[in-house]
Amino acid sequence: MSLFGFRAYPTPILKPTWPFMVAGGIVFFGINKLQTILVATEESRKDPRNPYAQSLLKEAH
C-alpha cells in the first residue's frame, strides 16, 4: 500500500532527461565563460555601470 492510494510505478526520470541536463550544464558554463570574457573587454572596463570595473582596473595595473 502506498501513500494516498496511488500505486508506485518505477517512473524513469534520469534516463530520458540526461541529455537535457548535460546540455543545460554546457550552456550554463558556456554563457558564464562568455560573460567573463565580455566583462573584461576594454570598453566595458571603462563603463561605470560595470560592477567588476574596479577589480578589473586594479588587475590591469
Report d(CA 19, CA 21) in Å as an integer: 5
Residue 3 confidence class, pLDDT cut points 50, 70, 90: low
Distance of alpha carbon 56 from the chain centroid: 22
pTM exceeds 0.75 for this model: no
Distance of alpha carbon 29 from the chain centroid: 5
pLDDT digits (tens, 9 = 90+) for 6-55: 777 788 889 999 999 999 999 999 999 999 999 888 888 888 888 888 88
Residue 2 confidence class, pLDDT cut points 50, 70, 90: low
Residue with cell string 577589480:
55
Are 56 and 40 within 8 A, CB to CB?
yes
